[in-house]
């Protein structure tokens, strides 16, 4: 008898949980389009480009140094001894390595700056999405910009209400 009560309890609980899941509302939003439409994102992109250009200008000095050494080597190679050629060759290789190291460091700095600039924007967008989903009673909000969702149930697009929440036209 105890077994039947337990089985009945599990069946009823399962029925209620399936019913509750079926009532969850689903919405979708193109989060990438939302972030791109935010004025803060446009300013962050401009700031990031300015930062990257300043790093590129600093790296230009290394490239100029390398170019000068190569030209000098090419112009004087015929009159250099083998020992001097070897020394100059190592200097050129060192200059190449410094350029490569600088480019890698600059790329890391740009990525770090991008994260620093975009994190508050993503956080603001996420908060607005969560607020609108809560206000409208959505249990799930799917990001349609990822492009990974192959099949989905019919859902409401909440891009417009989230833009209104953020004050974006």
Residue 83 CB-half CA count within 13 A: 0
Fold of 1-166: Protein Binding, DinI Protein; Chain A (3.30.910)
**pLDDT value at 17 more than 70:** no
pLDDT at 45: 94
Give the DSSP H/E element, type plus range, for residue 141: strand 138-143
**For residues 3-23, average pLDDT:** 50
How far, CA to CA in Å, does 94 sit from each of 63, 70, 89, 90?
Answer: 12, 12, 9, 6
pLDDT of 147: 67
CB 145 within 8 A of CB 32: yes
Q: Could you tell me how far CA 66 lies from the centroid of its own chain?
A: 33
The pLDDT of residue 111? 95
pLDDT, average across residues 22-49: 88
Instruction: Mention every residue, 6+ apart, whose C-beta is less than 8 A from residue 114.
Output: 48
- The pLDDT value given to residue 82: 87
């Amino acid at each position: 008898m105890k077994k039947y009560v337990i089985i009945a309890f599990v069946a009823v609980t399962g029925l209620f949980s399936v019913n509750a899941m079926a009532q969850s509302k689903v919405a979708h939003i193109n989060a990438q389009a939302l972030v791109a439409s935010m004025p803060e994102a446009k300013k962050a992109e401009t700031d990031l480009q300015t930062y990257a250009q300043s790093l590129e200008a600093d790296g230009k000095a290394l490239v100029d140094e390398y170019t000068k050494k190569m030209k000098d080597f090419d112009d004087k190679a015929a009159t250099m001894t083998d020992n001097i050629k070897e020394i100059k060759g190592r200097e050129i290789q060192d200059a190449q390595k410094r350029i490569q190291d600088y480019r890698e460091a600059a790329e890391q700095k740009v990525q770090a700056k991008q994260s620093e600039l975009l994190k508050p924007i993503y956080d603001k967008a996420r908060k607005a999405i969560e607020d609108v989903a809560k206000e409208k009673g959505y249990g799930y909000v799917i990001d349609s910009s990822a492009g990974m969702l192959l099949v989905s149930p019919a859902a409401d697009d909440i891009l417009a209400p989230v833009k209104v929440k953020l004050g974006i036209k």
